[in-house]
Amino acid sequence: MRRIAVLGATGSIGGSALDVIARHPERFQVGVLSANQRVDELIALCRRFRPARAIVADPAAHDTLARGLREAGLACEALAGPAALAAAAGDGDCDTVIAGIVGAAGMASTLAAARAGKRLLLANKESVVLAGALLLREANASGAQVIPIDSEHNAIFQCLPMPSAVPGERFGGVRRLLLTASGGPFRGRSRADLAAITPDQACAHPNWVMGRKISVDSATLMNKGLEVIEAHWLFGLPSERIEVVVHPQSIVHSLVDYVDGSVLAQLGQPDMRTALACALAWPERIESGVNALDLAGIGRLDFEPPDRETFPCLDLAYQALALGGSAGAIVNAANEIAVSAFLQGRLRFLDIPALIARTLDRIAVTPADTLDSLLVADAQARAAATLWLDTQGT
């Protein structure tokens, strides 16, 4: 029986994970559930999954959570705050951690799970972009299994010669990794078309239903940029051997190109339950609730190069990878600030890459060998990006 901590249980990844878990009560038990602020939703999930602990990230919501659990007659411990979250990811109430929190807020718990030698189902790509080298070091030292949940990386994980959960391991015979990108809701548009884009337009992804931050990242192609950096750390290949190809149908989730000319791909419906089921049961296969693929019904699979001029975020991510050190942390932090400002109507869509480029330009890149140095880079980048937003008065 696997005991699972679902961090970010009220989100899109958390919901998909719990859907798969609920299909296999003989295999999986929920040990921990966490949410940011939505206490009522968290309590409803606790009624259904009966975890030993429930954690809310906002300390001010602790008492409401404790009272709600008591009133529901649940013997579930109520905890609050980022430290409780990181502690739960590393302690004995779980052997498997689903890192489903969005943004750098997920980093401490992701690192704690890696340090404690858990099976880490890694959806929180921002923590890899921010602290990939450290995460690898922790996982390799503890023997943690890191299984990617991001659909592209999960596809590559499945297409590698011997799917291995040791992150950063080098594989013989691989020429390139090909990450597929849907192109987002604005594929085929010009920069001029994108001047007046609203948050709801940016979040209307053609193939995937996801949280708002990753949806905006998909619309700017920064999501693919973050995924290039993520692939670099998880699979140990340099950036010139990680390529992006646009595939609007989102059926081929990514490919591995071998030196003998073989290209292996993983196909499936655009539904995160496939990756989650694969990682929860690995190396076995279990039902995920996802329908079988009807290739004749789909009819055709198209591929085209990404439009790097209209969507400069992709190249900003390659630039961060080339710079190394804390550049990933800077780009990630600036992007989080830019996306949040865009969602609040304070920044125009086309100014998202401009704000990231400007921040990367202003903040000195330092070595990324300690958590403290990365947290400093993250804080500096957030402060610089926020200052620019405030002084622009937009």
- Name the residues that contact ligand NAD, by CB under 6 A: 8-14, 35-36, 57, 100-102, 105, 123-126, 150, 208, 210-211, 214, 272
* SS3 per-residue string spanning 253-281: EEEEEECCCCEEEEECCCCCHHHHHHHHH
Q: Which is nearer to Mg ion, 80 or 130 (CB)?
A: 130
Report the 10 Å Cβ neighbour count for 67.
13
Q: Which is nearer to Mg ion, 182 or 380 (CB)?
A: 182
End-to-end CA distance of the chain: 53
Q: Which is nearer to ligand NAD, 57 or 174 (CB)?
A: 57
* Nearest approach, Cβ of residue 164 and Mg ion (Å): 20
Binding-site partner at residue 11 among Mg ion, ligand NAD, none, CB < 5 to 8 Å by type = ligand NAD
* Nearest approach, Cβ of residue 369 and ligand NAD (Å): 24
Q: Which is nearer to ligand NAD, 13 or 144 (CB)?
A: 13
Binding-site partner at residue 359 among Mg ion, ligand NAD, none, CB < 5 to 8 Å by type = none
Q: What angle do CA 131, 16, 116 make, to 5 degrees?
A: 40
Q: Which is nearer to ligand NAD, 39 or 389 (CB)?
A: 39
* Nearest approach, Cβ of residue 14 and ligand NAD (Å): 5
Q: Which is nearer to ligand NAD, 11 or 268 (CB)?
A: 11
* Nearest approach, Cβ of residue 126 and ligand NAD (Å): 5
Binding-site partner at residue 133 among Mg ion, ligand NAD, none, CB < 5 to 8 Å by type = none
What sign does the CA torsion over 370, 238, 137, 107 have?
positive
Structure tokens belonging to residue 180: 């597929």
* Nearest approach, Cβ of residue 376 and ligand NAD (Å): 19
* Nearest approach, Cβ of residue 25 and ligand NAD (Å): 22
* Nearest approach, Cβ of residue 153 and ligand NAD (Å): 9
CA nearest to 128, candidates 374, 343, 306: 374
* Nearest approach, Cβ of residue 15 and Mg ion (Å): 17
Q: Which is nearer to ligand NAD, 127 or 173 (CB)?
A: 127
Binding-site partner at residue 89 among ligand NAD, Mg ion, none, CB < 5 to 8 Å by type = none
Q: Which is nearer to ligand NAD, 36 or 142 (CB)?
A: 36
* Nearest approach, Cβ of residue 208 and ligand NAD (Å): 5
Residue nearest to Mg ion (CB): 150
**Total of residues contacting Mg ion (CB under 5 A):** 3
Site residues (CB under 5 A) for Mg ion, limited to 145-204 = 150-152
Site residues (CB under 5 A) for Mg ion, limited to 111-150 = 150
Residue nearest to ligand NAD (CB): 11
Binding-site partner at residue 14 among Mg ion, ligand NAD, none, CB < 5 to 8 Å by type = ligand NAD
Structure tokens belonging to residue 260: 């003998």
Q: Which is nearer to ligand NAD, 307 or 336 (CB)?
A: 336
Chain residues binding Mg ion by CB under 5 A are: 150-152
